[in-house]
Structure 1
């Protein structure tokens, strides 16, 4: 059996998922033909059973790849800001950092104080930020940098990990 890097496995999973969609469409196309009454149907270039078998083989390979990728993401660790993270945890942390940065960007765009119209007759109502928007802009920049750094560490780590999978059917 061959080996591939974890990074190659992630890319291959994407390719196989696309192949499943293509084979599913082909399965629908080869399953039926239009014929005039009394005429014999002309079969497609590939038989329904051939396409179905290939589809199931690809689906099985996806399941195997998933298992291997999940295992590697749990068993391998990387260091970030003085802490050790399993890859799966690092992936989630990068996602959370990006979400937090997005929230902080919204805060950064807020006005420190703005008049709210239509709330009350004769009384002026203000919306007042209980924070400094510029501070949150700077925090957002730092969070995005951290997310990028962490993503780069994950990608680099993915090229160092090998898993047992024969990709010769696809490459």
Structure 2
């Protein structure tokens, strides 16, 4: 059996998933034909059973890739900010960093104080930020940098890990 990198496995799974989406309409096309009454149906160039077999092979390979990728993402680690993270944990951490950065960006856009209209008759109401928007702008920048660094570490690690999978059917 051949080997591929974890990065190649992730890309291949995406390719195979797309291939399944292409085969499903073909499955419908080869399953039915329209004929005039009394005419014999002319089968398609590919038989229904051939398309079904292709789909099953690809689906089986997707399941195997999932298992291998998940296992590699659990078994392999990478260092980030003086801690060691399993790849799966690092992926989630990068996602969380991006979410935190987005929230900080929203707060960074806030005015320190702004008048609120339509809240009260004859009384001026203000919306006051209980934080410094500039601090949140800087925090967002740092969180985004960390997310990018972590993503780069994950990508680099994915190119060094090899898994046992023969991709010769697809490449």
TM-score range (shorter-chain normalised) is over 0.9
Give the structure 2 partner of residue 129 of structure 1.
Answer: 129
Offset, 1:75: 0.2
Offset, 1:40: 1.2
Give the structure 1 partner of residue 25 of structure 2.
Answer: 25
Offset, 1:51: 0.1
Q: Deviations over 1:95-126 (max 9, x none)?
A: 00000000000000011111111111011111
Q: How many residues align?
A: 171
SS at match of 1:4: strand
Offset, 1:146: 0.4
Q: Deviations over 1:28-74 (max 9, x none)?
A: 11111111111111111100000001000000000000000000000
Give the structure 2 partner of residue 99 of structure 1.
Answer: 99
TM-score, length-normalised on structure 1? 0.99
Give the structure 2 partner of residue 73 of structure 1.
Answer: 73
SS at match of 1:127: strand
List aligned pairs for 1:1-171, cutoff 5 A.
1-171=1-171
Deviates more, 1:39-48 or 1:72-81: 39-48
Q: Deviations over 1:133-165 (max 9, x none)?
A: 111001001100100000000000001000000
In 2, distance between residues paired with 1:28 and 1:111? Answer: 57
Shift >4 Å, 4+ stretches: none
* CA-based RMSD: 0.5
Unaligned runs of 5+ in 2: none
